[in-house]
């Protein structure tokens, strides 16, 4: 008897193994199985009990699976919502003119956007559009920026149609254009609501596949009181910025609020400091073109070392736990007036207003980030953010184009500014978003604006790589030279 | 003859019984796997409609890719440390809860509770606690701490802590069940023979618990090799690649770097590694059972 | 001896507090406004304030998500149980080699990392019109769940003696008859196991709904949660309120099912 049990037991254990080996989910299997032999050898009452036990075990295992294994990840992949609103059956009148004829029944278009920090604001703008166009319903799908492109790509690749979506000018637009998903907007009536140079800046292969939507400065917020107490002038050169940071640090405050736990704040900064230095300071104008073809090396570009050194400065003068605090945490530090400066777009303004009205009203200012020591180069970074694209396969192109026409009107532009706290490219749209931002007025008036993102003519995702590598330098896991080599190695296997 | 006919009829029914399961399985696993395997031989970017077959290039590239080896290293480091920690703690809790203790049902519920929460939620709650909750709490005691997730030396460990929190419940229950399966007389007689508590634990309890230990080790190990959600929602592989695991690496390659073909090749390699680990586990396990 | 016991109790209680602490913080966040958390992180809210919950309820379509989660979970689990029981029985009782092969096939299926099938699965679903309805995702869960389900049922059926079935067969019972009348009643415990496991898994699953249920009318709780976090990423208090709401149904389910665990273990303790 005993012996028989032993063999059976072994067999069961082996089964266990199989089970367990598979998925975490089936862990329970093991216990279930192991139990079954006991059922045969014991009395009924015990069997009942064991059954229950088995159940418990399975539940336990299951949860373990759920937790430990990460089985099917969750992640962020796949898709966006957007119901590919093919609800209405009307024939698609694919005439590409903005002023299309009225369509019969109500049409639903899907609109997927990455301005999820202002979800409610965008919803209000859409309501305004729907009120003006009772025949068109817009199914709005806000998606976090970090996940947006993954979702959009999965959807597109799967043959799903999102009628209207946001895109960034440059490599993302090129990618979707190459995939054949973008309607050509060149010469549409509503495009005349934008300055020709803006359109030119956002063109792909000489044509406009996206409509500029919003834009904004990316600059440095500063705490006026801390600056005044320490007698700091607004720094106009990089060295002056660091000298100011040193002064602030000596006084016991934090110079820079860094939310680098999230990837994008550091990526956003590197993605501007580096191209600005590359093109404007070191005059490597074709660096990114060559990078695309695998002909350029980071090692040969002096700006690489400059940016790494700048990053180390930022890190040194940042709040403690630079990579443990996220964006929200950084905004909190600034709003609490513990940190004196924060490199950011205009989007945290609403949050700061909620948390510290006085600071928002009069206590903070905004100045261009001085990436170099040449004052004349240090203009105000002014970037397009979201642009709009229409899917070339949309069944409701007319409605989609109407939506774009609305967004490009003065009414739409004003609505955008009012509801999202960012600026619009629409000619004549209001530009009054927050007291701090008005400090930048002279730069707007004198046209001292530039857009470093224009220089980045490659679709290689060098900035996330750079961002990760430079973190190794922060923690002395690698020297700048090592990571420059790593970057070049990475480019070597990733150029087109 | 009659017997043969009966057998055939019986087999016919069995095959019929199998059909729905096999169909579903084919739909959800086999067909996508084959398609995915096909993509792994192309340079597909994940979005364009054109596919070019490039033979084994993706695989050759993968083997030479130092980032893949880093990711694999992190994955195994994570999985092995987690497996050991979860098992030690689960066993410890099981031993404590197995003894007479007031409120032990309540404690069991508490230790089990985190495992039923979705990983997305756990990651969300924990990263917030790491960056805000704990530092602010410990500041009351004059301690100055920062989030482990912000430092490449500790980030992986920070993840492991979350995984332990979420993963201890089930092994603990298994150990408790295992402990309860140990005949009381054995422990009693060992004690009568004058063995100390530690001695009893080492020489009686642990050997008898061996099957539970093996199961738990295997379950946690295979599960943790496939970790994905947790990494993605809490660190996304950073800082400085310190927590990049193979699944997140595959994911990013396929979706962020526009290299779906290469990503598919990487995941095929990972699939093979999983199979190898499983086979090795099975054979070690077999050997051990024979030794017993 | 008593002293030791108190120390043990102290240690365990301390560990329990540590385990609950992160959830406590989540609840605290959910009950405070952004301003209150900003002013003082650990201060208790001055009054019980459910406005975050109300706001989250209103903006998140929580009832729709809850209904979807319930429908999808129950439909899928039912399918998994029926299909796995049939297949598991066939594998356990059928003639060796072919059935073993099928068994191994299911087994190896669980080792396939989801990353490799994700995109093809989406494309396949798209072409078969399985996207954006309850039925499509049910089939997919069926396909995944059947892998482990078959293992459970096969294992269980193998542990049941064949004698009764053979006797029934001699009495003229056909295979389906035997399965329905004799085998099925015996499968209750393993069915319960498969049920609990799959409910917990499907309820918390995120990726498959993300792929298959893009339409907001079909979103499940974790999916809705994810979109909600994305949309209110700067309003953490609101996000935490939704997180707490999202936890409630599964915690209730757990507390209810936990009776099985505790009873089983307690009974074992008495016997042991």
The number of beta carbons lying within 10 Å of the beta carbon of residue A374 is 13
Provide, as residue numbers in chain B, all residues whose Cβ is less than 8 Å from the Cβ of A331: none
pLDDT value of position B184: 79
DSSP-based three-state secondary structure for C44: coil
CB contact under 8 A, A324 and B173: no
Min distance C1 CA to chain A CA atoms (Å): 31
pLDDT value of position A465: 86
**Structural element, H or E, at residue A415:** helix A410-420
Among the ranges given (A338-347, A361-370, B21-30, B140-149), the one the predictor scored with the smallest mean pLDDT: B140-149
Cα(A84)–Cα(A284) distance, rounded to whole angstroms? 44
Min distance A190 CA to chain B CA atoms (Å): 29
Taking each continuous run of H as one helix and of E as one strand, the counts in chain B are 16, 0
- State the total domains in chain B: 1
- Select from B235, B68, C145, B127 the least CA-distant residue to A72: C145
**Contact map slice: B 60-99 vs C, CB within 8 A:** 93, 96-97, 99
Cα(A362)–Cα(A435) distance, rounded to whole angstroms? 7
Q: Which of A69, A144, A462 to mutate to test the interface with B (most CBs of B within 10 A)?
A: A69
- Select from C62, C57, C35, C40 the least CA-distant residue to C237: C35
pLDDT winner (highest mean) among C77-91, C95-109, C246-260: C77-91
Residue B260 backbone dihedrals phi, psi, to 5 degrees: -60, -40
Does B108 fall in a domain? yes
Provide, as residue numbers in chain B, all residues whose Cβ is less than 8 Å from the Cβ of C43: none
Q: How confident is the model at residue C1 (pLDDT cuts 50, 70, 90)?
A: low
Residue of chain B nearest A69, judged by CA positions: B223
Does B36 fall in a domain? no
A125-136 in b/e form (b: 16+ CB < 10 A) is bbebbbeebeeb
Q: How confident is the model at residue B286 (pLDDT cuts 50, 70, 90)?
A: low
Most distant CA pair in chain B: distance in Å?
A: 88
- Select from B208, B222, B224 the least CA-distant residue to B175: B208
Whichever domain contains B155, its CATH number is 1.10.3720.10
Residue of chain B nearest C227, judged by CA positions: B120
Q: Which token pair is A265? A: 């704040």
Alpha helices by DSSP H, B99-168: 104-112, 119-128, 134-139, 155-167
**Contact map slice: A 61-120 vs C, CB within 8 A:** 61-63, 65-66, 71-84, 116-117, 119
Does B38 fall in a domain? no
pLDDT value of position A85: 34
Provide, as residue numbers in chain C, all residues whose Cβ is less than 8 Å from the Cβ of B22: 87, 102
Min distance B116 CA to chain C CA atoms (Å): 7
C176/B78: higher pLDDT: B78
Most distant CA pair in chain C: distance in Å?
A: 79
Among the ranges given (A182-196, B68-82, B141-155), the one the predictor scored with the smallest mean pLDDT: B141-155
- Select from A261, A259, A269 the least CA-distant residue to A332: A259
Tell me whether residue A102 is exposed, middle or buried, using C-beta atoms within 10 angstroms of its C-beta: 0 to 12, 13 to 18, 19 or more: exposed
pLDDT in tens, C196-249: 778 878 888 877 887 778 777 888 888 887 777 766 666 788 888 888 888 888
Cα(A438)–Cα(A367) distance, rounded to whole angstroms? 10
Q: Is the peptide bond before C212 cis (omega within 30 degrees of 0)?
A: no
Q: Are B6 and C79 in contact (CB under 8 A)?
A: no
Cα(A244)–Cα(A266) distance, rounded to whole angstroms? 21
Cα(C237)–Cα(A475) distance, rounded to whole angstroms? 33
Does B215 fall in a domain? yes
Min distance A46 CA to chain C CA atoms (Å): 8
Whether residue B119 lies within 8 A of chain C, CB to CB, comes out as: yes
pLDDT value of position A3: 37
Min distance B4 CA to chain A CA atoms (Å): 31
Those chains having 3 or more beta-carbon pairs within 8 angstroms of chain B are A, C
User: Where do we find the tokens 């005949």?
Assistant: B183
Nearest to B173 among A13, A56, A72 (CB): A56
**Is the domain A107-213+385-428 a CATH 3.40.50.620 member?**
no
Cα(A112)–Cα(A131) distance, rounded to whole angstroms? 20
What's the distance, CA B73 to chain centroid?
Answer: 15
Query: Within chain A, which residues score under 70 in pLDDT?
Result: 1-105, 158, 495-496
Q: How confident is the model at residue C80 (pLDDT cuts 50, 70, 90)?
A: very high
Using N-to-C axis directions, what is the helix angle for C2-31 and B66-98, rounded to 10°? 130
Does B6 fall in a domain? no
Cα(B289)–Cα(B283) distance, rounded to whole angstroms? 10
Flag whether pLDDT at B87 surpasses 90.
Answer: yes
Residues 6+ positions from C141 with CB-CB distance below 8 Å: C72, C76, C79, C80, C198, C202, C208
* Averaged pLDDT score across all residues of chain C: 81
Flag whether pLDDT at B290 surpasses 60.
Answer: no
Domains and CATH numbers, chain C: 2-49 (no CATH), 60-271 (1.10.3720.10)
Nearest to A82 among C34, C214, C254 (CB): C214
Does B54 fall in a domain? no
CB contact under 8 A, B247 and C111: no
DSSP-based three-state secondary structure for A318: strand
Cα(B36)–Cα(C122) distance, rounded to whole angstroms? 11
Cα(C272)–Cα(C270) distance, rounded to whole angstroms? 6
pLDDT value of position C192: 78
Q: Are strands A254-256 and A339-344 parallel, antiparallel or unpaired?
A: parallel
User: Structural domain of residue B248, as residue ranges?
Assistant: 66-291
Q: Give me the half-sphere count of Cα atoms (radius 13 Å) on the Cβ side of residue B224.
A: 30
Q: Which token pair is C144? A: 């995944």
Mean pLDDT along residues B142-158: 87
Nearest to C234 among A18, A56, A351 (CB): A351
pLDDT value of position A51: 37
Flag whether pLDDT at C108 surpasses 60.
Answer: yes
Q: Which token pair is A480? A: 């700048």
- Select from A21, A137, A193 the least CA-distant residue to C148: A21
Residues 6+ positions from B63 with CB-CB distance below 8 Å: none
Residue of chain C nearest A55, judged by CA positions: C193
pLDDT value of position B256: 67
Q: Which token pair is B206? A: 């642990």
Provide, as residue numbers in chain C, all residues whose Cβ is less than 8 Å from the Cβ of A142: 227, 230-231
**Contact map slice: A 268-327 vs C, CB within 8 A:** 327
CB contact under 8 A, C119 and A154: yes
pLDDT value of position A19: 31
Flag whether pLDDT at B94 surpasses 70.
Answer: yes
Does B197 fall in a domain? yes
Residue A367 backbone dihedrals phi, psi, to 5 degrees: -135, 155
pLDDT value of position A60: 35
Alpha helices by DSSP H, A23-43: 27-41
Q: Are B34 and B268 in contact (CB under 8 A)?
A: no
pLDDT value of position A43: 38
CB contact under 8 A, A79 and C159: no
Give the whole-number percent of chain B exceeding pLDDT 70: 95
Provide, as residue numbers in chain A, all residues whose Cβ is less than 8 Å from the Cβ of C188: 51
pLDDT value of position A86: 34
CB contact under 8 A, A13 and B116: no
Q: Which of A39, A64, A76 to mutate to test the interface with B (most CBs of B within 10 A)?
A: A64
Whether residue B184 lies within 8 A of chain C, CB to CB, comes out as: yes
Nearest to C155 among A33, A327, A355 (CB): A33
pLDDT value of position B122: 86
Cα(A420)–Cα(B210) distance, rounded to whole angstroms? 61
Flag whether pLDDT at B289 surpasses 80.
Answer: no
- What are the residue ranges spanned by the domains of chain A? 2-69, 107-213+385-428, 217-383+454-494
Q: Which token pair is B184? A: 């009381």
Give me the DSSP letters along A119-140: HHHHHHHHHHHHHH-TTEEEEE
Provide, as residue numbers in chain A, all residues whose Cβ is less than 8 Å from the Cβ of C193: 28, 32, 54-55, 58
Q: Are A127 and A96 in contact (CB under 8 A)?
A: no
pTM of the model: 0.77
Flag whether pLDDT at B284 surpasses 80.
Answer: no
pLDDT value of position A239: 96
Which superfamily, per CATH, for A217-383+454-494? Periplasmic binding protein-like II (3.40.190.10)
Q: Are A463 and A275 in contact (CB under 8 A)?
A: no
**Structural element, H or E, at residue A435:** none
pLDDT in tens, B152-194: 889 999 999 999 999 888 788 878 878 877 887 887 888 788 7
Q: What angle do CA C84, C90, C91 make, to 5 degrees?
A: 85
């Amino acid at each position: 008897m005993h012996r028989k049990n032993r063999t059976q037991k072994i067999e069961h254990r082996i089964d266990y193994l199989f089970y367990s080996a598979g998925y975490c989910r089936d862990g329970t299997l093991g216990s279930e199985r192991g139990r079954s032999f006991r059922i045969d050898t014991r009395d009924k009452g015990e069997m009942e009990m064991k059954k229950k036990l088995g159940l418990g075990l399975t539940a336990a295992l299951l949860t373990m699976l759920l937790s430990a294994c990460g089985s099917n990840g969750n992640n962020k992949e796949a898709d966006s919502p957007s119901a590919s609103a093919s609800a209405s059956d009307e024939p698609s009148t694919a005439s590409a003119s903005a002023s299309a004829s009225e369509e019969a029944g109500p049409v639903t278009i899907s609109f997927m956007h990455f301005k999820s920090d202002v979800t409610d604001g965008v919803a209000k703008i859409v309501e305004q559009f729907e009120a003006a166009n009772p025949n068109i319903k817009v199914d709005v799908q806000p998606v976090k920026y970090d996940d947006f492109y993954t979702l959009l790509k999965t959807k597109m690749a799967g043959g799903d149609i999102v009628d209207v979506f946001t895109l960034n000018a440059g490599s993302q637009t090129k990618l979707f254009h190459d995939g054949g998903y973008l309607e050509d907007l060149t010469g549409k009536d509503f495009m005349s609501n934008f300055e020709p140079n803006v359109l030119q800046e956002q063109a792909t292969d000489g044509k406009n596949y996206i409509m500029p939507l919003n834009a904004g400065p990316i600059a440095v917020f500063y705490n006026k009181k801390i600056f005044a107490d320490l007698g700091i002038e607004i720094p106009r050169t990089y060295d002056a910025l660091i000298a100011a940071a040193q002064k602030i640090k000596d006084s016991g405050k934090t110079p820079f609020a860094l939310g680098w736990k999230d990837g994008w704040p550091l990526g956003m900064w590197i993605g501007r400091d580096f191209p600005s230095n590359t093109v404007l300071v070191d005059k490597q104008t074709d660096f990114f073109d060559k990078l695309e073809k695998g002909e350029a090396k980071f090692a040969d570009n002096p700006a690489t070392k400059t940016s790494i050194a700048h990053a180390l400065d930022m890190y040194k003068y940042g709040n403690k736990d630079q990579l443990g605090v996220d964006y929200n945490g950084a905004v909190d530090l600034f709003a609490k007036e513990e940190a004196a400066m924060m490199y950011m777009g205009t989007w945290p303004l609403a949050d700061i207003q909620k948390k510290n009205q006085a600071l928002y009203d009069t206590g903070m200012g905004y100045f261009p980030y001085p990436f170099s020591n040449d004052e004349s180069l240090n203009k105000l970074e002014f970037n397009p953010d979201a642009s709009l694209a229409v899917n070339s396969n949309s069944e409701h192109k007319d409605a989609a184009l109407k939506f774009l026409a609305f967004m490009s009107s003065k009414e739409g532009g004003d609505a955008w500014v009012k509801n999202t706290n960012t600026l619009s490219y629409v000619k004549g749209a209001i530009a009054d978003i927050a007291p701090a931002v008005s400090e930048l007025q002279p730069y707007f008036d004198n046209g001292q604006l530039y857009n470093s993102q224009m220089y980045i003519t490659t679709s290689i995702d060098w900035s996330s790589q750079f961002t990760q590598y430079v973190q190794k330098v922060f923690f002395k896991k690698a020297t700048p030279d090592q990571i420059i080599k790593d970057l070049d190695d990475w480019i070597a296997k990733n150029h087109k | 003859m009659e017997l043969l006919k009966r057998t055939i009829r019986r087999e016919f029914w069995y095959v019929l019984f199998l059909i729905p399961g096999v169909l579903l399985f084919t739909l959800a696993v086999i067909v996508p796997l084959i398609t995915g395997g096909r993509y792994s031989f192309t340079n597909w970017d994940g979005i364009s409609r054109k596919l070019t077959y490039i033979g084994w290039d993706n695989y050759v590239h993968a083997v030479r890719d130092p980032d893949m080896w880093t990711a694999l290293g992190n994955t195994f480091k994570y999985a092995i440390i987690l497996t050991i920690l979860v098992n030690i703690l689960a066993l410890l809790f099981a031993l404590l809860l197995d003894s007479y203790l007031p409120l032990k049902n309540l404690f069991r519920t508490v230790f089990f509770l985190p495992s039923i929460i979705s990983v997305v939620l756990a990651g969300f709650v924990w990263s917030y606690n790491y960056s805000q909750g704990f530092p602010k709490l410990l500041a009351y005691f004059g301690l100055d701490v920062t989030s482990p997730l912000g430092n490449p030396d500790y980030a992986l460990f920070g993840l492991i802590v979350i995984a332990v929190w979420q993963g201890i419940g089930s092994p603990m229950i298994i150990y408790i069940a295992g402990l309860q399966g140990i005949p009381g007389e054995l422990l009693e007689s060992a004690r009568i023979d004058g063995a100390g508590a530690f001695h009893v634990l080492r020489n009686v309890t642990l050997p008898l618990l061996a099957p539970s230990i093996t199961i738990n080790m295997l379950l946690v190990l295979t599960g943790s090799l496939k970790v994905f959600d947790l990494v993605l929602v809490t660190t996304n592989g950073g800082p400085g690649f310190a927590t990049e695991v193979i699944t997140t690496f595959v994911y990013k390659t396929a979706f962020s770097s526009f290299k779906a073909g290469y990503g598919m090749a990487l995941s095929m390699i990972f699939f093979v590694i999983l199979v190898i680990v499983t086979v090795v586990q099975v054979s070690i396990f077999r050997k051990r059972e024979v030794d017993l | 001896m008593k002293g030791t016991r108190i120390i043990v109790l102290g240690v365990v209680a301390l560990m329990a507090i540590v385990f609950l602490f992160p959830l406590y913080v989540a609840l605290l966040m959910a009950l405070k406004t952004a301003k209150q958390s900003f002013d003082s992180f650990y201060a208790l809210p001055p009054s019980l304030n459910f406005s975050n919950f109300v706001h989250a309820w209103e903006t998140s379509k929580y009832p729709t998500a809850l209904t979807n989660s319930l429908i999808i979970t129950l439909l899928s689990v039912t399918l998994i149980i029926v299909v796995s029981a049939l297949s598991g029985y066939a594998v356990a009782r059928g003639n060796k080699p072919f059935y073993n092969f099928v068994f191994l096939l299911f087994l190896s299926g669980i080792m396939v990392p989801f990353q490799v099938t994700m995109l093809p699965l989406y494309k396949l679903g798209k072409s078969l019109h399985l996207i954006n309805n309850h039925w499509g995702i049910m089939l997919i869960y069926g396909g995944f769940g059947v892998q482990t389900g078959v293992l459970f049922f096969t294992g269980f059926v193998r542990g049941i003696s064949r004698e009764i079935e053979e006797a029934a067969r001699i009495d003229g019972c056909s295979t389906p008859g035997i399965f329905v009348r004799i085998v099925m009643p015996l499968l209750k415990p393993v069915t319960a196991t498969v049920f609990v496991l799959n409910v917990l898994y499907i309820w918390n699953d995120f990726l498959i709904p993300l792929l298959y249920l893009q339409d907001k009318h079909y979103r499940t709780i974790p999916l809705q949660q994810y979109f909600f976090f994305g949309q209110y990423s700067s309003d953490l208090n609101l996000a935490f309120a939704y997180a707490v709401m999202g936890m409630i149904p599964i915690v209730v389910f757990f507390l209810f099912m936990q009776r099985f665990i505790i009873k089983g273990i307690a009974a074992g303790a008495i016997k042991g």
